[in-house]
């Protein structure tokens, strides 16, 4: 057999090199300045971006498969009691400054995370009960973390925990992730350089990341960010809204990516708080399941998605988006638009539809207001569309847009509102992250917060199921419990879920190996494998 | 009468008649959403196309013109009368009264109106109809917009009080009220007119901005302010030039009002 020529081999290697071009600077924008570089104290979006790009974690949730994958830990085991997790760590790894990584660093990070004086937002997810969290180095590469009470979905929580060095003089600036902060020009930009000690290699043994550096420009103005993308000054926009997406699509269709339904939802609810100053007859409307279901059925969700979001949204079925592959209850479908069925439901409650106006059994014309935050054109559009939809069943809806502090004041303190239209930005897949929404005693149980005892049987049942899923360690059992919560929410409609927005992004064709997904960070979740074409790498 | 003035009067009559007869001229209800025809181009059915919710732009322009053309001048009139009363009296009386009134005016101007407006919104019930909402909005603008004009009018009145014709009037025995009514006010008229015409477009735009506080013209009622807000999405304008129609009507109306004014009124 004839051996391949040297030239042929060179051409193959050159082709591979073009596909995964090493070097260059990737550029994108942050919408605010990071408030801290300390990974245990981060809670703003900009800081979390820095943590994602620089922090090394024990396990990583693959944003594409939504499965947990080993990173600094090669193996992990949760004890039968659900209180202990033991990690086996990767060996011969160094922080960016050369300090060796060991079990002592994990212990130090957990101590920092749970230090009550630091009030770590990331640490809140690990506070399971009375008592102290203990981390113990079993050997140089094994560490056990013991919690006072079981935590469901414990291993997934470590996706957010960037390991800090116990010994490095650089403290939190010594990192284990693909990049390290090299320059920070306050209010202007940050430069992250490739971590020379990053432990990952590609299948051919080449060290990752391929990109030399990342430049993060602080840019609040979305219009300028768009212009900079089209002029080639930045390489991608992680999250776009529907209007910007369509504008860009008309100019450069190859740049835009619609990854489908995201975890974010838009919904409305009626104020059912006993402390609200609403008249008794309105409280009775809003407490009626048939009234809520009738309003829900009279809203054309398909039109909301098609018109308000230019088709970049889908009608929502319930609290969990289909994008959440494991927790979504596939039995649930969005409520169909059926105004005749809505009027039948209302008739069961004694409402009468006379002369294009709906009256309750006492003769009150059905009229209520819906508040939403001003400046959000999508919500303003949705509210106006709902106004027309509800006029079809004789309900007069007054749309009121308020500045956000006034809205919060009414929602959380005075309870002086009738209905509210808002959205939820979901970053976590696990239902434990929404415990504070579903428990009737919670202040975020928006339709009727801070209940001493559940006001209705179905809320008591939701309380029971949410607590049961939180204390169970069997994922299938948890799923069963949470499916029941979703079904009760679908039947009772305390929140009328309207649409799930799509995850939209824009990426320059010069960036390779990008696979936008619905989970955050949508575009750069695989930053260590992303590469730039030689032209882009040179021009930057 | 100059041709420009005649044309301006004709335009104003035409536009006023158009918006007053909106019920007859509008091809569709201003709030109706033709959801299969969103962002449509002009056609026989929709002369100015449709907006992002499929509402007929021409109908909305007719009704929006009615709202803004009626209420913005009303608010400007209220503000100008308050300014004339407060500023004119202060300038006429002069001395300590003038200093006290102008100090009060300066204090009024320095108040954080954003918080006042938020408080007003909090005091208002949520369930108000769009018509009540628009009345409240323009009444607020009228009540709050007098202070700047009052300073200008006060300065004008002060200069008159030291002028020869007032001195002559005083020497001929004119009393305080007679002096104010017969000599001050006729001479302050150009200043008042100027302040009035400056206030009209300012109030129209202010109404659009008040929408963010929940105080503007509530949906689905249209106004020039809410229609001008659509122009925020600049990149779509080149593709849909008919979106400029509210801006063009706004400019034409304000220009026509200025042309209708007499030469004596304009220099102020």
- DSSP for A220-271 reads --HHHHHHHHHTTSSSEES---HHHHHHHHHH-GGGEEEEEEEEEEEEEEE-
pLDDT in tens, A327-342: 999 999 999 999 999 9
Poorest-pLDDT segment among A44-58, A118-132, A160-174, A249-263: A118-132
Q: Give me the pLDDT at residue B179, please.
A: 81
CB contact under 8 A, A380 and B219: yes
For residue A367, list chain B residues with Cβ-Cβ distance below 8 A: 127
CB contact under 8 A, A418 and B31: no
For residue B127, list chain A residues with Cβ-Cβ distance below 8 A: 367-369, 398, 418
In contact, B161 and B95? CB cutoff 8 Å: no
Which of B235, B237, B239, B240 is the best substitution to test chain A (most A C-beta atoms within 10 A)? B235
pLDDT > 80? residue B1: no
pLDDT in tens, B181-194: 888 888 888 888 88
Q: Give me the pLDDT at residue B79, please.
A: 94
Strand-pairing partners, residue A94, are A100
CB contact under 8 A, B52 and A307: yes
Exposure letters A267-305 (e unless 16+ CB within 10 A, then b) = bbbbbbbeebebeeebbbbbbbebbbbbbbbbbbbbbbb
For residue A399, list chain B residues with Cβ-Cβ distance below 8 A: 218-219
Strand-pairing partners, residue A357, are A354
In contact, A323 and A263? CB cutoff 8 Å: yes
pLDDT in tens, A388-417: 999 999 999 999 988 888 899 999 999 999
CB within 8 Å of A43: residues ≥ 6 apart? A35, A121
Phi and psi at A291, nearest 5°, equal: -65, -45
Which tokens sit at A277?
A: 């100053």
Average pLDDT estimate for A492-518:
95
Coil/strand/helix, residue B112: coil
Closest Cα in chain A, distance from residue B111 (Å)? 19
Most confident of A21-35, A159-173, B196-210: A159-173
For residue B236, list chain A residues with Cβ-Cβ distance below 8 A: 247
> How many CB atoms are closer than 10 A to CB A120?
22
CB within 8 Å of A441: residues ≥ 6 apart? A450, A451, A452, A463
In contact, A215 and A27? CB cutoff 8 Å: yes
Closest Cα in chain B, distance from residue A369 (Å)? 6
Q: Which residue has the higher pLDDT, A314 or A154?
A: A314
pLDDT in tens, A131-185: 889 999 999 899 999 999 888 888 988 999 999 999 999 988 999 999 999 999 9
Q: How much of chain A, in percent, has pLDDT values that exceed 90?
A: 77
Q: Which residue has the higher pLDDT, A148 or A130?
A: A148
Report chain A's mean pLDDT, rounded to a whole number.
91
pLDDT in tens, B84-131: 999 988 988 888 999 999 999 999 888 887 777 777 777 788 888 888
Out of B32, B126, B212, whose CB is closest to A417? B126
For residue B112, list chain A residues with Cβ-Cβ distance below 8 A: none
Out of B32, B212, B220, whose CB is closest to A374? B212
Out of A303, A383, A409, whose CB is closest to B35? A303
Poorest-pLDDT segment among A121-135, A461-475, A499-513, B202-216: B202-216
Q: Which residue has the higher pLDDT, B210 or A437?
A: A437
pLDDT band at A233; cut points 50, 70, 90: very high
CB contact under 8 A, A367 and B127: yes
- Smallest CA–CA distance from B234 into chain A, residue: A223
pLDDT > 70? residue A8: no
Alpha helices in A20-90 (DSSP H): 45-54
For residue B122, list chain A residues with Cβ-Cβ distance below 8 A: 406, 409
Out of B31, B35, B211, whose CB is closest to A401? B211
pLDDT band at A6; cut points 50, 70, 90: very low
pLDDT in tens, A80-113: 888 899 999 999 999 999 999 999 999 999 999 9
Of B67, B65, B30, which Cα lies nearest the Cα of B51?
Answer: B30
CB contact under 8 A, B233 and A375: no
Strand-pairing partners, residue A367, are A396
Q: Give me the pLDDT at residue A372, please.
A: 94
pLDDT > 90? residue A309: yes
- Label the pairing between strands A396-402 and A367-373: parallel
For residue B220, list chain A residues with Cβ-Cβ distance below 8 A: 384, 387-388
Q: Give me the pLDDT at residue A183, please.
A: 95
B12 burial class (0-12, 13-18, 19+ CB within 10 angstroms)? middle
Out of B54, B118, B219, whose CB is closest to A399? B219
Tokens 């202010």 belong to residue: B206
pLDDT > 90? residue B205: no
pTM for the model: 0.85
pLDDT band at A211; cut points 50, 70, 90: very high
Phi and psi at B221, nearest 5°, equal: -65, 130
pLDDT in tens, B151-162: 999 998 888 887
A130 burial class (0-12, 13-18, 19+ CB within 10 angstroms)? exposed
CB within 8 Å of B192: residues ≥ 6 apart? B80, B83, B84, B153
Closest Cα in chain A, distance from residue B63 (Å)? 17
pLDDT band at B266; cut points 50, 70, 90: low
Interface of B with A (CB under 8 A): 31-33, 35, 38, 52-54, 118, 121-122, 126-130, 211-214, 218-220, 233, 235-236
Out of A368, A385, A398, whose CB is closest to B218? A398
Q: Give me the pLDDT at residue A337, please.
A: 97
For residue B113, list chain A residues with Cβ-Cβ distance below 8 A: none
Q: Which residue has the higher pLDDT, A460 or A7?
A: A460
- Smallest CA–CA distance from A371 into chain B, residue: B126
Closest Cα in chain B, distance from residue A421 (Å)? 14
Strand-pairing partners, residue B56, are B50
Which of B29, B208, B219, B233 is the best substitution to test chain A (most A C-beta atoms within 10 A)? B219
Angle ∠(B211,B217,B222) on CA atoms, nearest 5: 115
CB within 8 Å of A282: residues ≥ 6 apart? A368, A418
Q: Which residue has the higher pLDDT, B199 or A386?
A: A386
Q: Give me the pLDDT at residue A43, please.
A: 80
Q: Give the separation between CA A63 and CA A81, rounded to whole angstroms.
A: 29
Report chain B's mean pLDDT, rounded to a whole number.
85
Say how many CA atoms lie within 13 Å of A135 toward its Cβ.
17
Q: Give me the pLDDT at residue A14, please.
A: 42
Count A/B contacts: CB-CB distance under 8 Å: 69
- Smallest CA–CA distance from B236 into chain A, residue: A247
Out of A306, A375, A385, whose CB is closest to B33? A385
pLDDT > 70? residue B69: yes
CB contact under 8 A, A247 and B236: yes
Global ipTM: 0.81
């Amino acid at each position: 057999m004839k051996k391949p020529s040297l030239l042929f081999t060179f051409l193959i290697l050159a082709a591979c090199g073009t596909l995964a071009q090493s070097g260059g600077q990737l550029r994108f924008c942050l919408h605010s300045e990071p408030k801290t570089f300390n990974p245990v104290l981060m809670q703003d979006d900009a800081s979390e971006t820095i943590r994602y790009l620089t922090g090394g974690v024990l396990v990583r949730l693959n944003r594409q498969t939504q499965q947990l994958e080993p990173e600094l830990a090669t193996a992990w085991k949760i004890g039968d009691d659900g209180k202990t997790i033991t990690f086996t760590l990767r060996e011969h790894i160094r922080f960016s400054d050369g300090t060796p990584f060991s079990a002592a660093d994990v212990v130090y990070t957990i101590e920092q995370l749970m230090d009550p004086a630091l009030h770590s937002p990331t640490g809140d997810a690990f506070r399971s009960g009375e008592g102290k969290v203990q981390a113990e180095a079993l050997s140089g590469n094994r560490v056990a973390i013991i919690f006072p009470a079981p935590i469901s979905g414990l291993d997934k929580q470590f996706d957010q925990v960037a390991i800090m060095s116990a010994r490095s003089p650089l403290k939190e600036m010594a990192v284990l992730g693909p990049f390290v902060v090299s320059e920070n020009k306050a209010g202007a930009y940050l430069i992250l350089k490739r971590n020379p000690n990053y432990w990952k290699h590609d299948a051919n043994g080449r060290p990752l990341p391929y990109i030399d550096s990342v430049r993060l420009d602080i840019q609040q103005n979305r219009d300028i960010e768009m212009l900079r993308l089209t002029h080639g000054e930045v390489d991608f926009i992680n999250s776009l809204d529907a209007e910007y997406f369509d504008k860009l699509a008309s100019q450069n269709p190859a740049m835009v990516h619609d990854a489908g339904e995201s975890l974010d939802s838009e919904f409305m609810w009626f104020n059912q708080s006993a402390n609200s100053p609403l008249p008794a007859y309105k409280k009775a409307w809003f407490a009626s399941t048939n009234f809520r279901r009738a309003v829900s059925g009279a809203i054309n969700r398909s039109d909301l998605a098609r018109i308000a979001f230019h088709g970049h949204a889908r009608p929502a079925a319930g609290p969990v988006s289909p994008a959440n592959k494991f927790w979504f209850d596939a039995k649930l479908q969005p409520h169909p638009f059926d105004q005749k069925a809505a009027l039948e439901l209302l008739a069961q409650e004694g409402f009468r539809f006379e002369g294009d106006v709906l009256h309750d059994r006492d003769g009150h014309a059905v009229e209520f207001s819906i508040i939403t935050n001003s400046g959000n054109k999508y919500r303003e559009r949705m509210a106006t569309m709902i106004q027309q939809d509800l006029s079809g069943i004789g309900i007069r809806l007054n749309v009121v847009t308020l500045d956000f502090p006034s809205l919060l004041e009414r929602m959380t303190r005075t309870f002086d509102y009738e209905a509210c239209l808002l959205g939820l930005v979901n970053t976590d897949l696990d239902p434990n992250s929404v415990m504070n929404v579903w428990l009737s005693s919670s202040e975020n149980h928006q339709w009727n917060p801070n209940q001493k005892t559940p006001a209705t049987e179905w809320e008591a049942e939701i309380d029971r199921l949410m607590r049961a899923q939180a204390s169970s360690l069997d994922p299938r059992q948890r799923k069963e419990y949470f499916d029941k919560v979703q079904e009760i929410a679908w039947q009772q409609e305390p929140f009328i879920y309207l649409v799930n927005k799509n995850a939209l992004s824009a990426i320059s064709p010069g960036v390779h190996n990008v696979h936008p997904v619905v989970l955050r960070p949508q575009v750069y979740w695989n930053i260590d494998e992303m590469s730039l074409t030689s032209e882009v790498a040179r021009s930057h | 009468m100059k041709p420009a003035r005649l044309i301006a009067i004709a335009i104003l009559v035409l536009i006023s008649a158009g918006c007053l007869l909106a019920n007859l001229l509008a091809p569709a209800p201003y709030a109706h959403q033709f959801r299969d025809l969103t962002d449509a181009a002009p056609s026989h059915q929709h002369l100015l196309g449709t907006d992002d919710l499929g509402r007929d732009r021409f109908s909305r322009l007719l009704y929006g013109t009615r709202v803004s053309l009626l209420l913005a001048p009303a608010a400007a009139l209220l503000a100008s009368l308050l300014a004339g009363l407060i500023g004119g009296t202060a300038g006429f009386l002069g001395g300590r009264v003038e200093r006290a009134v102008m100090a009060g005016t300066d204090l009024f101007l320095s108040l954080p109106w954003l918080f006042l407006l938020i408080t007003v919104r909090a005091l208002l019930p949520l369930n108000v109809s769009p018509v009540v909402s628009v009345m409240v909005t323009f009444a607020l603008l009228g009540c709050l917009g007098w202070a700047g004009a009052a300073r200008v009018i006060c300065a004008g009145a002060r200069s008159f009080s030291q002028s020869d014709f007032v001195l002559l009037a005083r020497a001929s025995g004119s009393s305080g009220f007679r002096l104010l009514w017969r000599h001050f006010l006729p001479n302050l008229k150009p200043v008042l007119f100027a302040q009035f015409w400056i206030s009209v477009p300012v109030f129209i735009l202010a109404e659009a901005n008040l929408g963010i506080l929940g105080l503007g013209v509530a949906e689905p009622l249209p106004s020039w302010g809410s229609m001008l807000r659509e122009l925020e999405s600049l990149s779509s304008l080149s593709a849909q030039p008919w979106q400029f129609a509210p801006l063009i009507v706004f400019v034409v109306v304000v220009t026509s009002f200025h042309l209708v004014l007499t030469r004596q009124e304009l220099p102020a």
